[in-house]
Amino acid sequence: MLELQDVHLRLNGNAGPVDILRGISLSVTSGESLALVGPSGSGKSSLLMVMAGLERATGGRVGALGQDLTQMDEDALARFRRGNMGVVFQSFHLIPTLTALENVAVPLEIAGEADAFGRARVELGRVGLGSRAGHYPSQLSGGEQQRVALARASVSRPKLLLADEPTGNLDTANGAAIMDLLFDLRDAHGATLVMVTHAAELAARCDRVLKLADGLLA
Partner 1 sequence: MNWPLAWRLARRELRGGLAGFRVLILCLALGVAAIAAVGLLRSAIQGGLADQGAVLLGGDAQMNFTYRFASDAEKAWMADHAVEVSEIVDFRSLAVAGEDRALTQVKAVDDAWPLVGAVGLEEGNLAQAFAPQGGLPGGVMDKILADRLGLKVGDTFKLGTQTFRLGAVLLKEPDSATAGFGLGPRTLVRTADLAQSGLIVPGTLYEADYRLLLPAGADLDALQAEAEVAFRDKGMVWTDKRNAARGVEKFVDRLGSFLILIGLAGLAVGGVGVASAVRAFMAARVGTIATLKVLGAEGALVLRVYLLQITVICLVGVVLGLALGAGGLQLGAPLLAALMPFPVAFGLYFAPLLQAAYYGMVSGLLFALWPLAQAVRQRVTSLYRGTDERVWPKPAHLAGIAALLALFVGGAVWFSGSASLALGTLGGVFAALVVLAVAGFGVKRLARAAARLGLVNGRPALRWALAAMGGPRSEVQAVVLSLGLGLSVLAVVGQIDANFRAAIARDLPAKAPSFFFIDIQDAQLDPFASLMAGNPAVTQVQTAPMLRGILTQINGRNARDVVGDHWVVTGDRGVTFSDNLPAGTTVTEGEWWPKDYTGPAQISFAATEAEEMNLKLGDQLTVNILGRDVAATLTSFRKVDFSSAGMGFIMVINSAAVAGAPHSSIATVYAAPEAEAEILRQASDTFPNITAIAMKEAIARAAEALSAIATATVLAAGAVLVTGLVVLVGGAAAGVPARMREAAILRVLGASRARVLASFALRSALMGAAAGGVAMGAGALGGWATLRLVMDLPYKFEAWSALSVVLGGMLATLAAGVVFAWGPLSARPAAVLRQAE
Binding site for partner 1 (CB under 8 A): 45-46, 49, 52, 54-56, 74-75, 78-83, 87, 89-91, 93-99, 102, 106-107, 109-112, 114, 116-117, 136, 138, 152
Question: What are the beta bridge partners of residue 64?
Answer: 2, 67
For the chain, the C-alpha Rg in angstroms (whole number) is 17
C-alpha 208: how far from chain center: 17
To partner 1, the closest distance from the beta carbon of 205 in angstroms equals 23
Closer to partner 1 by CB, 87 or 212: give it.
87
Q: Which is nearer to partner 1, 110 or 216 (CB)?
A: 110
In whole angstroms, how close is the CB of 49 to partner 1 at the nearest point?
Answer: 4
| In the complex, minimum distance from the CB of residue 14 to partner 1, in angstroms, rounded to a whole number | 13
Q: Measured from the CB atom, is 42 or 46 closer to partner 1?
A: 46
Nearest to 152 by CA among 190, 114, 110: 110
- C-beta of 136 vs 205, nearer to partner 1: 136
Tell me the closest approach of the beta carbon of residue 127 to partner 1, in angstroms: 17
Q: How far apart are CA 153 and CA 143, in angstroms?
A: 15
Say whether 111 sits in a helix, a strand or coil.
Answer: coil
Listed in sequence order, the DSSP H helices in the chain are: 44-52, 74-81, 100-110, 116-126, 142-154, 172-189, 200-203
